[in-house]
Amino acid sequence: MYIGQTKTKEYTYNASNQLKTAGSHTYTYDDDDNRTRDGQYKSIHNKLNELVEIQTLSEQLAAKYTYNEDNRRISKMING
């Protein structure tokens, strides 16, 4: 990029005002409004809507989270 040049990225939102696209990345959500995909990763939530796992789109584990009985995150494991 050179001085004077600008770079733009287009964003779109769905009817619930959730991010739908950012440039070439597409975002999806489940029925509980949890983001499930973001173009690079997919997110897995439990019945309490807590984020418990993040996977690459090829289903390789990227991160894992655990929670206590008070719904507080007590551990985070990052792969890599």
Where does residue 24 fall: left (phi above 0), alpha (psi -120 to 50 degrees), or beta otherwise?
A: alpha
Could you report the per-residue pLDDT of 11-47, keeping only the tens digit for each?
Answer: 999 999 999 999 999 999 999 999 999 999 999 999 9
Contact 4, 25 (CB under 8 A): no
What are the counts of helices (DSSP H) followed by strands (DSSP E) for the chain?
0, 9
- Residues 52-64 have a mean pLDDT of 96
- The pLDDT assigned to 2 comes to 76
Report CA-CA distances (Å) from 3 to 9, 26, 45. Answer: 18, 30, 44
pLDDT at 77 over 80: yes
Q: Tell me the pTM.
A: 0.79
